[in-house]
Amino acid sequence: MHYLEDRSKTDIAEALGVSRFKVARLIELARQHGIVRIQIDDDSCVDLELSERLRSELGLQRAVVSTGDVALAAADLLPQLLSDGDVLGLPWSRTIARMVEQVHDLPVVDVVQLTGAHQSPGIDTSAVAIARAVARVSGGRSTLFFAPFVAEDAEAAATFARQPEVRAARAQLRRITHALVAAGAWQEGSSTVHDAISPTARRQAARQGVVGEVAGVLLDAQGRAVASATYDRLVTLSLRDLERIPHVVLLAAGAEKAQVVRAAVAGGFPEALVCDRALAQALLTT
């Protein structure tokens, strides 16, 4: 059922009336006794040589350079990173929204929503749906809240932050062991935050040194958080919150994101990067 029908451990456990842990143990026994064999496909969607060069260049623990969709590469990586009992943090991101569609099986982990929700053209999901979907696949609990990612103004954002659901999610931040976050360059079409604010606010943030954002955290070229009127409108976590998470994976695609990725690496919070070839090559030549 797991391998032939592509059903998750949670679905199998419900169908058989047993615990998810028993299903996981039976699958592991099947592999140990040779009933199930896993074969590595040589036609990999990961450029291994470029991945190692990038990992070494940036000083990361892991780098994955995808030859295809970064979201799919992240979905393939996620089960390798997590173990039963971990807590996963997920923000709103177009890349992460696509990743969730490809995640089929995970260890039992709780999932915490990191940012408010946002509706993006062409993507029929939100931060709430992202966290809920991953928790459903894993069989863990989800901590969710209903608030916008980008509020109308700082006062509205502060009001949302006082809601019990938002406060409950933020109280879970210290439990998070892993987080997947996406980088956005400070230009049109590359950042949800950039595109959601006025041209005047975009220019003001640029003058303050913003080169991009990660889960709404505005960064300068040195990886420092930029305090601005734009950040005050966001329902999200802080750079300090990101730094406290033991294992942060950064997702990014496109050569235009080289500067913000370098800024994030300079800030020291990501330990791993999943990107495409165009971005990898840009990072290796700048």
Mean pLDDT by 10 residues, the chain (286 residues): 58 73 68 55 75 97 96 96 97 94 93 88 76 95 95 97 96 97 97 95 97 98 96 96 97 98 97 98 92
Q: Residue 5 has what pLDDT? A: 53
pTM of the shown model: 0.84
Query: 209-245 burial by CB neighbour count: b if 16+ within 10 A, else e?
Result: bbbbbbbbbbbbeebebbebebbebbbbbebebbeeb
Do residues 111 and 134 make contact, with C-beta atoms less than 8 angstroms apart? yes
Amino acid found at 86: D
Q: What are the structural domain ranges in the chain?
A: 1-39, 46-284
Which residues share a beta bridge with 181? 250
Given this model, what pLDDT does residue 21 score?
A: 67
Q: What does the pLDDT read at residue 75?
A: 96
Strands 87-90 and 110-113, bridge-based pairing: parallel
Q: Distance (Å, rounded) from C-alpha 271 to C-alpha 248?
A: 6
CATH fold, domain 46-284, is: Rossmann fold (3.40.50)
CATH 2.60.120.20 fits 1-39, yes or no: no
DSSP character for 227? P
Question: What confidence score (pLDDT) does residue 19 get?
Answer: 75
For position 269, what pLDDT does the model report? 96
